[in-house]
Structures are given as structure tokens and as C-alpha cells.
Structure 1
Amino acid sequence: MTAPVRVLICDDQVLVRTGLATIIDAQPDLELAGECGDGRTAVDLARRLRPDVVVMDVRMPVLDGIEATRLLAGSGVPHPVKVLVVTTFNLDEYVYEALRAGASGFLLKDAPPAHLLHGIRTVAAGAALLAPEVTRRLVGRYAARIRPAGGTPPELPLTPRELEVLRLIAEGLSNSEIAGSLRISQETVKTFVSRILTKLDLRDRVQAVVYAYRQGLVT
């Protein structure tokens, strides 16, 4: 049998934590690894307990969820943890900052329990929770902040076709749309995406989009 997905909950509201814990505990494929009420404790617990997914609130005392996410899942972190940000604030700014900090997904607290469970399982499986078109809208809106000021883009360890696929990912195309655009199978697209993530040491498509903007590959 496959081991259950271990989940750490971080939210400063006790009732919210209790509700999330109850939903998670009721699932045979999920396991509550722990819970806490501030970002600093979340970082400490995550590093000690090594959960598969951290469900992270944004606004919290001591250390907010964005900074806690950056410490757990940001670039350069030796053992990154997958983070699913869950908040009451439906603001593009929060979504963008969470994704840039290294989060693999974003949900609102008023989403149905089924959406939360789907989000945890999706992130645990190594996929991004946001749809490609949503990712592009968010990153595109804030692209000026992360796009290089000028100069020649650095050489990347990608083949010409992999670079082409990366650009299409950044433009918000799904695997099926990329397959149609390049006239290749969806399985081939999946192979290219996997190679891109491995070569660039990225966890999911969301990070690939941000990376493409940072390198000036998308105008």
C-alpha cells in the first residue's frame, strides 16, 4: 500500500485549523503530521517533521505565510517542501507573491472541502494547482518585477525543442495545446516538460513560468 500523504497545517485561527484537520483526518490517503499557528513554527515543524505538503495561511503573527513559504520552498532551499497556500484574501498580489516564494498552489478558504483535498493531492503528486491560463495572467501582470532589466538572456541547458516547450508553458498553454501547436503527442509533451523541470531544477509548471519570465524568454 502507498504511504499516506503527510500534511502540516499552519493557520493562526484555531477553528480553521481544527476544521482542516478534521477534513484531512477523514481521508484514508492523508495523514495529519502536525499543526501550528504562525509561520516561524511552521518552518521549524516542517524541517523537523518533513511533511509531504504544508497547508499555509498568508496573514499570521511572528512570520507571515509568504516568508515562511520562501524559507521552506524557495530557490536554494536544500530540502524544499511542497506548500499549498490557503487564504481568505482573493488578491492577485498574494497569489503572485506566494507562487514566486515557491508555493505549488493557491486556494481560498471558502473553497469546498473537495477542492482542498484535490489541492493537497495535486501538490503532493508534484503538479501545480493553478490552471496555466491563470498562472500566465498572474505572472504576466507582475512580469516587470522579475524580468531582467536588459542584456542577453543566459544560455540554458535545454535543447531547442525544450526551449520552445518552455516558452509555450510560459504563455499559458496546456499540454494538449502544446501538442497541437508543435504537432506532437501529449505523451511527448509530458516527456519534454519532465526534462525541462529536471534540467532547470524546478518543481512544477508554475515555477517554470516564473523562471521563463525571469530569464526574459517571454515578452
Structure 2
Amino acid sequence: MTRSTDPGRAHPPGASAPPIPPVTGGRGFTVAAVEAVPIFRDGLSALIQRSHGMTWVGHAANHHTALQLCEQLKPEMILLDSGLDPNCHLTRLLTAAEHPPIVVVLIREATRTSRYLTSAIGAGARAAVPRSAEPRRVIEAMRRAHMETRYLDPALATLAVRPKRQPAADGRPATGPRAQMPLSRREYQVLQLIAEGMENSAIAKVLYLSVETVRTHVKSILRKLAARDRTHAVTTAFRSGILITHPDDCAQLPESAEPQK
């Protein structure tokens, strides 16, 4: 594998960049990403695979497959694109698991705000680094998150203040760091699949549940969202930010969680 050059240092033609130093002060750990853009995802995979002490196990491109990935592959750390979780619902679900992964948020420019950072930390994210950061800074954030309680990239330090609570642009109360996810982990997966147009029998096959169990989850979803029917529940979920549309650059990529081959 050809190593990419360090942007901050010149190298003679044909020479490879120095290897990323190994993780020290602890055992190695497994890593997965929630990232829908192939070039970013492949870059993260290559970065992890050439970093000592880290093992790449796979990726997911949306909320539903992210939860499946964690259930099936149980990665110890998740790299999460903030553009896929602007309201921090997925972060909250991941960190509320019985054996939660360490969540490192890769912050896009669109979510590079004090409000988002405070919400992400409140939802359980352990580290945050700009999505556009150089590879060494991403690795540093991962190391520090694995070894320490919390890590914030220096470029984001000015955002580490508690924002004043303000209403959203549409008049609805803004999502705060302590906002609670009204649905359980499984209900959230069912709602995602309803939004994709699946009927109960298809959802049951995807989630390895009985149709009756899916019906029970649907009833609970309708009750919790005060929805008249499935369509109303999906509409309410999108309007309240429980479900999100994908960022423009990944809206056409509804891939499944794929373990590393």
C-alpha cells in the first residue's frame, strides 16, 4: 500500500511518508465508520489499516445500518460524520448501548457550531475533530479518545462554550444537549425502514423479528409520536429531526453495513 505524504512536510519523489506512530499506553482497538461518501470512507479505511494498534472492521452509510453494524461487528470505536447525525440522535443511540463504542465525531463545516458540539458531547461523543483535518490529527483524536475521557481538536476549541438556547429558524425549540430520543433503539430502526417504504413483513426479515413484534413496535412508535398512521409518523419524525434526509453528497448512497473483507 502506498503511503500518502504528510501535507506539512516535503518528500523526495518516490519516497514514502513516515509511518504514523503506533498507539501507546494501551491495547489496540477496532474501528468502524458511519460515512456515506466513498472517497472519505476509503480514505478512513486506508488510514486505519496503516495505523498500528487499530483494526478496521467495516462501515455503514446511514442510521439503520450503523446500528446493525454495531450489533453484528461490535467495533470499539465509531468515526461518525456529523452530516449524517446533525441532531445527535444516532450518537445518543450508539452510546446508550449495553457495551457502547467510543464515538469520535468528524465535524463538517455545516455543523461546526457551539450548539452542535455541545449536543454531541451531551449525547455521549467522546471526541471531535474537523472532517477536513489532516490524517495525523484524526489519528491523534482517536488515540486520545481511546486513552482519555474526552478530547477536542484544538481547531474546535473556540466552540467549546455553552450556547444560549435560541429557537430554531422555523420557530420550533432548538435541540439541546439534553434532548431525549423518544424512541428505543429498535423502534428507531423500525421507523427508519418504514420511511424507506417497507411493510411489516419486510421489516421483520431485515431485523430478524417476528411480524407481530414489528407490529408492536409500530404501535409504540405511533403512540410516542402521536401519529395517526405510518405516513404521519414518518412526516412527524422528519419535521422534528428524529429522522434526517442525507446530505446532498450522500443522498444516493443507501449502502448496507459491510464488514471488511
TM-score normalized by structure 1?
0.56
Q: Indicate if the aligned counterparts of 2:107 and 2:130 stay in contact, CA closer than 8 A.
A: yes
Structure 1: distance between partners of 2:57 and 2:164: 35
* Residue 142 of structure 1: how far off its partner (Å): 4.6
* Residue 87 of structure 1: how far off its partner (Å): 2.5
1:113 maps to: 135
| Residues 65 and 29 (structure 1), Cα distance of their counterparts in 2 relative to 1, 3 Å cut | farther
SS at match of 1:84: strand
Q: Indicate if the aligned counterparts of 2:78 and 2:103 stay in contact, CA closer than 8 A.
A: yes
Structure 2: distance between partners of 1:130 and 1:138: 9
* Residue 47 of structure 1: how far off its partner (Å): 2.5
1:130 aligns with 2:190: no
2:123 maps to: 101
SS at match of 1:59: helix
Alignment counterpart, residue 99 of structure 2, candidates 46, 56, 79: 79
| Residues 42 and 73 (structure 1), Cα distance of their counterparts in 2 relative to 1, 3 Å cut | same
* Residue 108 of structure 1: how far off its partner (Å): 0.8
In structure 1, runs of 5+ residues without a counterpart are 148-219
Deviations 1:72-124 (A, max 9, x none): 114xx422221000022222222122111110011111111111001111112
Structure 1: distance between partners of 2:99 and 2:73: 12
In structure 2, runs of 5+ residues without a counterpart are 1-25, 167-175, 179-261
Structure 2: distance between partners of 1:64 and 1:140: 17
Structure 2: distance between partners of 1:114 and 1:146: 29
Alignment counterpart, residue 92 of structure 1, candidates 93, 97, 114: 114
* Residue 140 of structure 1: how far off its partner (Å): 2.6
2:44 maps to: 20
Aligned-residue CA RMSD in angstroms?
A: 2.9
Structure having the larger proportion of residues in helix: 1
* Residue 136 of structure 1: how far off its partner (Å): 9.5
Q: Indicate if the aligned counterparts of 1:38 and 1:64 stay in contact, CA closer than 8 A.
A: no
Deviations 1:111-162 (A, max 9, x none): 1111100111111224311279x77963532589679xxxxxxxxxxxxxxx
| Residues 44 and 138 (structure 1), Cα distance of their counterparts in 2 relative to 1, 3 Å cut | same
Structure 2: distance between partners of 1:117 and 1:47: 24
Percent identity for Structure 1 against Structure 2: 23
Q: Indicate if the aligned counterparts of 1:40 and 1:68 stay in contact, CA closer than 8 A.
A: no
Structure 2 counterpart of 1:98, which letter? Answer: A
Alignment counterpart, residue 34 of structure 1, candidates 38, 52, 58: 58
Q: Indicate if the aligned counterparts of 1:53 and 1:123 stay in contact, CA closer than 8 A.
A: no
Structure 1: distance between partners of 2:134 and 2:177: 33
Structure 2: distance between partners of 1:66 and 1:7: 20
2:80 maps to: 56
1:203 maps to: none
Structure 1 counterpart of 2:130, which letter? Answer: L
1:10 maps to: 34
Bigger-Rg structure (1/2): 2
Which of the pair has the greater relative contact order for Cα pairs under 8 Å at 6+ separation?
2
Alignment counterpart, residue 66 of structure 1, candidates 67, 88, 100: 88
Q: Indicate if the aligned counterparts of 2:107 and 2:129 stay in contact, CA closer than 8 A.
A: yes
2:67 maps to: 43
| Residues 101 and 28 (structure 1), Cα distance of their counterparts in 2 relative to 1, 3 Å cut | same
